[in-house]
A and B are shown apart, each in its own frame.
Chain A
Amino acid sequence: MSSALLYALAGVALCGIGLAGFLLLNHLLRRLLAFNLIGSGVFLVLVGLAQHRGGPDPVPQALVLTGIVVAIAATALAVVLIRRYFHLTGRTSFKAESEGDGGGAGS
């Protein structure tokens, strides 16, 4: 097993951990972080698997670089949206925090 393959497998593990966090956590910021973890895992798989044979491959690296920049912008936009949601409703998750809070999921 080469070290590049180890990176790809670490990316696979990150995907699984991120998916578990995304499904199990309620706080919107934590869900955003978990979603980013899935994205990082995908990037690692792309780069690691491509350079497993024959050294670094510039094409997947360029794709991942593009993906990272888009992921940063999407994350920043999501943070702005989450803050706006918090300003409007006072909640940090889509579930009502207590009984009698009024209203169900705020999506």
Chain B
Amino acid sequence: MRRVRLFVTLLACAGLIVALAAAVLDVAGAAVSSELPEQLRASLERSGVEHPVTAVLLNFRSYDTLLEIGVLVIAGMAGISLASTNSLEDPALRSADSLLYALQRWFVPVMLLLAAYLLWAGAYRPGGAFQAGAVLAATGVLMRLGGLPMAFIRPGILLRLGLVIGFAVFLLVAVVGALMGEAFLAYPATMAGLLILTIEVALTLSIGMILLALFVAAPVTDEHEPEEGAGS
């Protein structure tokens, strides 16, 4: 019975692969071509940045990015509320590895510099808020694993501010733009570059904070292991 089920499942998945591959080849062989890249190239000067991906992310399709950071904030809050300890910064949860501690004195400044560079580079080459935020979160994870105290993830104003600042700044820019007579999320053409940079800085801080909070909210410690099957 079990073997039959395995066989049927594998057969179904193989069928899915064949059907999807046929669909992909069909789409690839179709003669129609999208005019989207040409449209994008034509209006790139109005976007305020030089790199097309950043222009799409933060200007032409900024709705996606706004909703994305909203999803991230919700995920971060849900993760924190599920943490089994009162404070994310509990000394009992810190690990202390002397090698990591020594290494991070070299790594943390370099990684912070890299995050700042990625953020700045997003305007004209691959990079931007998400990559910089990921590097920032990785720096926090390294600091956490190396046992460095991080006061800013204690429950308090800094944690709350860090979680919502990206979403708040983005929403503020969108609403102010709408009140000034433009459409929701449409930036005035002269200030587009500056506004995008402001939003990106706030997004970087928020993304780093949220990813770090989600990492810290799932502590791996031996002392909290429950006995098998208890309390279900």
Q: A residues engaging B (CB < 8 A)?
A: 5, 8-9, 12-13, 15-17, 19-20, 23-24, 45, 49, 52-55, 57-59, 61-63, 65-66, 68-70, 72-74, 76-77, 79-81, 83-84, 86-91, 101-103, 106
Q: In the complex, which residues of chain B have a beta carbon less than 8 angstroms from the beta carbon of A59?
A: 36-37, 40, 56, 61
B222 at the interface (CB under 8 A from A): no
Interface of A: prevailing SS: helix
Docked complex Cα distance between A88 and B227 (Å): 10
* In contact, A20 and B83 (Cβ under 8 angstroms): no
> Of A15, A61, A72, A76, which contacts B79 at CB under 8 A?
A76
Docked complex Cα distance between A80 and B215 (Å): 8
* In contact, B218 and A80 (Cβ under 8 angstroms): yes
Interface residue total, chain B, C-beta cutoff 8 A: 54
Q: In the complex, which residues of chain A have a beta carbon less than 8 angstroms from the beta carbon of B84?
A: 84, 87
Question: B62-102 interface mask toward A, CB cutoff 8 Å, 1 = contact, 0 = none?
Answer: 00110010011001101100111000000000000000000
Q: In the complex, which residues of chain A have a beta carbon less than 8 angstroms from the beta carbon of B6?
A: 24
On whether A88 and B79 interact (CB within 8 A), knowing A12-B17, A15-B20, the answer reads no
* In contact, B75 and A73 (Cβ under 8 angstroms): yes
Q: In the complex, which residues of chain A have a beta carbon less than 8 angstroms from the beta carbon of B133?
A: 69
Interface of B: prevailing SS: helix
Total cross-chain contacts (CB, 8 A): 137
> Of A57, A65, A72, which contacts B37 at CB under 8 A?
A57
Q: In the complex, which residues of chain A have a beta carbon less than 8 angstroms from the beta carbon of B76?
A: 73
B156 at the interface (CB under 8 A from A): no
* In contact, A19 and B214 (Cβ under 8 angstroms): no
On whether A76 and B214 interact (CB within 8 A), knowing A12-B21, A84-B82, A90-B229, the answer reads yes
Docked complex Cα distance between A66 and B133 (Å): 13
Q: In the complex, which residues of chain A have a beta carbon less than 8 angstroms from the beta carbon of B68?
A: 66, 69-70
Q: In the complex, which residues of chain A have a beta carbon less than 8 angstroms from the beta carbon of B83?
A: 80
B13 at the interface (CB under 8 A from A): yes
B164 at the interface (CB under 8 A from A): no
Among residues of B, the one whose C-beta sits closest to the C-beta of A75 is B214
> Of B20, B24, B57, B232, which contacts A106 at CB under 8 A?
B232
B207 at the interface (CB under 8 A from A): yes
